[in-house]
């Protein structure tokens, strides 16, 4: 799965996702970080690259998805201090999917019990 991690996504999670075999380009690696690029432009750029956006910015990217914009997928995550566990949950959720075109995938931190 080709993924585009927005500039606020935890780098430790990205490292673990790469270790698990996912192809991840970060906004920083793409030289797009710290440039005040709009979420809409991030989504459009990721779509041009045929990569699903990986983000913690659930509210704005859910809204963009609901506007029926064509995109290569959006993976919405909750903040999770367990970066390794977060990466594993993301990997489990998207593994086996052929693509994420125009799909919204939610990955939540487990609730404490």
The string of pLDDT tens digits covering residues 100-112 is 999 999 999 987 6
What is the C-alpha separation between 39 and 57, in angstroms, rounded?
9
Which domains are delineated in the chain? 2-107 (3.40.50)
Structure tokens at 77: 């995550």
On the question of pLDDT at 4 being above 80, the answer is yes
Pairing of strands 2-5, 23-26: parallel
Q: What is the pLDDT of residues 14-71, one digit of tens each?
A: 999 999 999 999 999 888 888 888 999 999 999 999 999 999 999 999 999 999 778 9
Can you give the pLDDT at residue 113?
A: 52
Cβ(102)–Cβ(50) below 8 Å:
no
Residues 6+ apart with CB under 8 A from 17: 3, 24, 87, 90, 91
- Report which DSSP code applies to 112: P
């Amino acid at each position: 799965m080709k993924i585009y991690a927005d500039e606020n996504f935890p780098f430790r999670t990205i490292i673990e996702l790469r270790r698990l075999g996912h192809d991840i380009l970060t906004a920083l690696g793409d030289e797009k970080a710290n440039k005040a690029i709009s979420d809409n432009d991030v989504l459009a750029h990721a779509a041009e690259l045929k990569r699903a956006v990986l983000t913690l910015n659930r509210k704005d990217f859910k809204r963009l998805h609901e506007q029926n914009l064509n995109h290569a997928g959006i993976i919405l995550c909750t903040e999770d201090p367990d970066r390794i566990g977060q990466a594993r949950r993301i990997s489990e959720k998207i593994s086996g999917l052929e693509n994420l075109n125009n799909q919204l995938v939610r990955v939540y931190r487990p609730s404490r019990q």
